[in-house]
Structure 1
Amino acid sequence: MQETPLCLRVGHFLPYSMSDLNTTNFTNPSTFILLGIPGLEAAHIWISIPFCAMYSIAVLGNFTILFIVKREPSLHGPMYYFLCMLAVTDLVMSTSTLPKMLSIFWFSSREISFSTCLTQMYFVHSFSGMESGILVAMAFDRYVAICHPLRHSTILTNSVVAKIILAVVLRSGILALPYPFLARQWPYCRTNITPHFFCGHIAVVKLACADISISSYYGLFDLLSEIGMDVFFIAVSYTLILRAIFRLPTKDARLKTFGTCISHICAISALYIPDFFSSLLCRFGHNVPLHFLVLIASVYQLVLPVLHPIIYGLRTKQIRGRLLQLFTHKET
């Protein structure tokens, strides 16, 4: 999906000693070195505490969503199928990066093999794209539920939902496929140290001693074709939704109908607002400390997987009720 929100240039980080820099010519380095959060190495152990706690909450929360939807037949509907897909995406996104981050913080295990780095790169970009696509699918579900409530079950059948999920997976998987291949083709003859805690595409290819215009152009194309299209379709869906809501006869009916969209609007805001903010920082925040940019990047990897279960768990009456019922049964 989006490019890693970092305006990194080789030479902006020197927390390693010069002896750690690999300046020998190599075409495909056997390993890369991840610095974690450059400039804050002394605080890594303290930073790891909230990161570990949030990762635990993300895993527990998303597995809880999957468990509740699977166990409760009344939740076997389009919106909850999309929510389960979002939970799976969050689990893969966070698990593909956070364990390595914690190993850097706890054990100074900074090395990552080149092939593992490329695999991680693919998972990060493909699943971040899926996350955006699922939010579009949820927006379509809200549009059908509000604008065509009597036809909701006939329009969004299980077959249609499965096709939508498959389309989201294929789109993101195919569009992310060039990233590792582009990164593999460049010669890396300056350094194999990247000032990050995971292998983002731009963070890696900026280490190449070659013209990486193709990588940059493809990143822009991917950004416009995924995020641009997704934001457009979400905007169209909510324009139609709001038009239908304002046509309702009473204020209570309008508020109640709009309330069914609050969880989805919160999820959209949690994804796109930090993305927009980080893009502005990359382009105009030339004096922003590098460690702050890296921390902003962690929003995509950790904060969203934590927020989604909280947003949908607290705002969705059926999930909240089922969760309370499970705890009540355990207590009795």
Structure 2
Amino acid sequence: MKTTTICTAIVLWLLAIAASQAQETTLEKDIKILENLKEQVIQEEKDALKNEVESITQRLENDNITAAEAEELKQKAAEKRALNIENRVAIIDNKIALAERNEGDNVMGDDTDRLVLRIGRDDNQNDSFWYVGRKNKPREYDLRTSSDFVFAVGLNNVITEGESLEDSDFKTGGSKFAELGWAWKTRVFKESNWLRIKYGFSFQFNGLKPTGNRYYVDTGAQTELQEFPVNLDKSKFRMDNLVFPVHFEIGPSEKIEKEDYFRYNTYNKIKFGIGAYAGFNLGVRQKLKFEEDGDDVKQKLKGDYNTNNFVYGLSTYIGWRETALYLKYDLNTIFKDNPVDQRNVSLGLRFDLD
């Protein structure tokens, strides 16, 4: 019994020593973090001052301010950053003192003035952008590139050699397309925004619904529409592509000038874009739905169907705000070896959402 008591006391003593050492290790770690943070704070404020001075210099070179005004703005920026360093370092010194006095107990809370990565957004509507940076990172003086999420949807069909759309083998209302992608827009000229280049990537989904009771069959020599042996409730043929569009966009814009930055705003302006795209055929599939022996049957057929692996074409749009009328036309034929050339064409609405 006595031996058990002694062993228990020894275990408790060892645990107390371990806990004390762990606490000291945590305290030392927290103080080290705070000491490093002071250096980071000083460097951050110096970098911010450098960016502000560059912005002021840019405004001076653009004749937006006089040399005297530029010198005054630089002096104010330097004074502000010096005070920021003094105040923020003092806050960290207080946290170090608090950590030492309380042996590290609950001093590294959420309010620690640590440098963090965050997602922010400029406030210029259509020319806004998403970025990752420091908490107090100053806004770029001249932002020439912005980005948008692209979504388009509309009607799809086929231009057949020697035929008009009125004689198409596909249902106009039932054949549809969709497009999802991301696009960057860059101002071409330094002092003007009348011409922009828009580029990115998109996934295109081109669907076709044959007229009559027909579906596509790859015979080996060619791919052709054939009559299905039973009544079809649904017949849909879809081609999925990954393309890389490039458009030249023109249109007026409004220049918004602030003290430390300027932007060109095209949100409430007419935009016109014309360009081309090229990419790859990711896959082709066909969906059939019919009734057989009283049961509903759904078939999803996936294959090559003799389609071209490389796709390319022309596209154009005209719009206002986020919405545009969008037209695209494949220059490549849908099928490789068919005797009659057929090319995909789409017309719909395009939404560029920042």
TM range (shorter): under 0.3
Which structure shows the bigger proportion of residues in strand conformation? 2
Question: What TM-score does the superposition give when structure 2 sets the normalisation length?
Answer: 0.20
Question: What TM-score does the superposition give when structure 1 sets the normalisation length?
Answer: 0.21
Larger Rg: 2
